[in-house]
C-alpha cells in the first residue's frame, strides 16, 4: 500500500460537512497520487451533499510555533504549523485554509504526581462545600445518565473550534449508552470523574480518561467540561486530579497521559500545564467550503441547531 484516503460524514449533525484525509508514504510522494485520492474523497463527499470539507495535519514538536520558523498561522491567530511541512503544502495547494491549531500534550504521570497535592488543596478551598466528587468506570449510573448527556452535549458548543464550522450536538441517554458501547467494543476503559452541586444535585463538571489493556503504559485525556453556571470554582482542576489519582491507584502501569487542546483555549491549557503536561506536537485543523457545483464558497460562522450563531466557550 502506497497511499490511502478516507471520508467520514456525520449522520446526526454536521450534515453539510465531511472529514477527508489523505496519507501518502514519503517514497511515493510527488507523483500526483495524493491529489488523485483527495479528488476521489472530495467527490464522495459531494455525492453525499457535503459542501464543507475539513481535514487535519499532524506535526511533531520540533519547531517553535512562536519563534522564527517559517509558519502558517490559523484564522484565530493563535498557534502555528510549519509552512514547509509536506501536509501543509498539500493542504494549501488544494485550497484548504488553516482555521485552528491544536496542541498535543503529554504528562509523565509518576514524575508529576507529587505536585498535585498543592493544586488539589487550592481547588478544594475554592470549591468549598458546595460540590462533591463522584466517579465511575465504564457505564454511567442510570441516575446520572440524563444529566451526563446534557454535559456531553455542551462539548460541541463550549469547546473552542476557531473558524471551523461545527453544529451543536444533541445528546440523550441513548446516545450516551451508544458511545459507551462503542468504547467497550473498541477495548477502551473509561474513567469518569464528575463534580455534583450539593444543593441542586446537578452535575456541574466532568472529565474522562481512557485507557486500553493493549497499551497499559498509556492513557488518553478525553473530554473535560465545566457547565457555564458553575465556572470559577476550580472544578476543572478538581475532576482532572480525581481522575489522575484513580489512574495511578488502579492502573499503576500507566506512565503517560496524552491530550489535545485548542491553542486558544488558555484556561484549559493553564490547568494542564499546572498538572505537568508539556507540548509534544501540534495539529493543524483545515477547512474548505464549496458550493453544490464544487466551486469555492464563502465561509460561514459556526451555528447551533436552530441556525443562529453560537459563541465559543471554554472546555
pLDDT of residue 305: 38
Give CA–CA dist 145/139, Å, rounded. Answer: 9
pLDDT of residue 304: 37
| pTM (predicted TM-score) | 0.86
Is 86 found in the same domain as 127?
no
Full domain range(s) for residue 50? 3-103+282-289
Quick one: how many helices (H) and strands (E) in the chain? 8, 12
**CA distance between the termini of the chain:** 39
C-alpha dist (Å) from residue 201 to 130, 143, 153, 176: 10, 11, 19, 20
> Does residue 20 sit within a domain?
yes
pLDDT in tens, the chain (315 residues): 999 999 999 999 999 999 999 999 999 999 999 999 999 999 999 999 999 999 999 999 887 777 667 999 998 899 999 999 999 999 999 999 999 999 999 999 999 999 999 999 999 999 999 999 999 999 999 999 999 999 999 988 888 899 999 999 999 999 999 999 999 999 999 999 999 999 999 999 999 999 999 999 999 999 999 999 999 999 999 999 999 999 999 999 999 999 999 999 999 999 999 999 999 999 999 999 997 555 554 443 333 333 333 332 222
Sign of CA dihedral 311, 180, 195, 261: negative
Give CA–CA dist 106/273, Å, rounded. Answer: 10
250-264 pLDDT, tens digit each: 999 999 999 999 999
Query: 202 exposed, middle or buried (CB, 10 Å; 0-12, 13-18, 19+)?
Result: middle
Q: Could you write out the DSSP letters of every residue in 57-87? A: EEEES-S-TTSSS-EE--TTSS--EETTSHH
Q: Which residues contact 135 (CB under 8 A, 6 or more apart)?
A: 191, 192, 193, 194, 242, 243, 246
Length of the chain: 315
Is 140 found in the same domain as 26?
no
Q: Could you write out the DSSP letters of every residue in 277-288? A: -EEEEEEEEEEE
Is 73 found in the same domain as 169?
no
pLDDT of residue 157: 87
Strand partners, 194: 134, 206
218 in Cβ contact with 280 (< 8 Å): no
**Cβ of 180: how many Cβ atoms within 10 Å?**
17
pLDDT of residue 112: 92
Is 235 found in the same domain as 133?
yes
CATH of the domain at 90: 3.40.630.30
Radius of gyration of the chain (CA): 20
Of residues 120, 104, 123, the one with CA closest to residue 112: 120
208 in Cβ contact with 257 (< 8 Å): no
Is 93 found in the same domain as 139?
no
Domain count, the chain: 2
Amino acid at each position: 500500500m502506497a497511499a490511502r484516503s478516507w471520508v467520514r460524514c456525520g449522520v446526526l449533525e454536521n450534515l453539510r460537512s465531511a472529514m477527508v484525509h489523505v496519507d501518502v508514504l514519503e517514497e511515493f510522494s510527488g507523483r500526483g497520487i495524493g491529489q488523485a485520492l483527495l479528488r476521489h474523497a472530495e467527490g464522495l463527499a459531494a455525492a453525499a451533499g457535503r459542501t464543507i470539507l475539513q481535514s487535519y495535519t499532524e506535526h511533531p514538536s520540533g519547531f517553535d510555533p512562536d519563534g522564527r520558523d517559517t509558519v502558517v498561522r490559523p484564522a484565530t491567530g493563535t498557534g502555528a504549523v510549519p509552512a514547509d511541512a509536506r501536509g501543509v503544502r498539500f493542504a494549501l495547494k488544494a485550497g484548504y485554509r488553516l482555521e485552528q491549531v491544536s496542541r498535543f500534550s503529554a504528562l509523565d504521570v509518576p514524575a508529576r504526581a507529587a505536585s498535585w497535592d498543592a493544586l488539589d488543596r487550592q481547588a478544594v478551598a475554592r470549591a468549598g462545600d458546595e460540590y462533591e466528587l463522584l466517579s465511575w468506570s465504564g457505564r454511567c449510573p442510570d441516575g446520572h445518565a440524563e444529566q451526563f448527556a446534557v454535559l456531553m452535549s455542551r462539548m460541541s458548543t463550549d469547546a473552542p473550534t476557531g473558524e471551523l464550522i461545527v453544529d451543536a450536538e444533541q445528546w440523550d441517554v441513548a446516545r450516551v449508552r451508544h458511545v459507551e458501547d462503542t468504547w467497550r467494543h473498541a477495548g477502551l476503559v473509561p474513567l469518569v470523574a464528575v463534580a455534583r452541586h450539593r444543593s441542586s444535585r446537578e452535575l456541574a463538571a466532568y472529565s474522562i480518561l481512557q485507557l486500553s489493556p493493549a497499551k497499559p503504559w498509556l492513557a488518553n485525556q478525553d473530554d473535560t467540561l465545566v457547565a457555564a453556571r458553575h465556572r470559577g470554582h476550580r472544578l476543572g482542576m478538581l475532576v482532572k486530579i480525581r481522575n489522575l489519582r484513580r489512574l495511578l491507584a488502579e492502573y499503576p502501569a500507566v506512565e503517560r497521559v496524552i491530550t489535545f487542546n485548542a491553542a486558544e483555549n488558555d484556561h484549559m491549557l493553564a490547568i494542564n500545564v499546572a498538572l505537568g503536561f508539556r507540548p509534544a506536537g501540534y495539529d493543524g485543523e483545515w477547512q474548505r467550503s464549496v458550493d453544490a457545483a464544487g466551486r469555492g464558497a464563502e465561509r460561514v460562522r459556526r451555528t447551533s441547531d436552530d441556525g443562529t450563531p453560537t459563541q465559543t466557550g471554554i472546555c
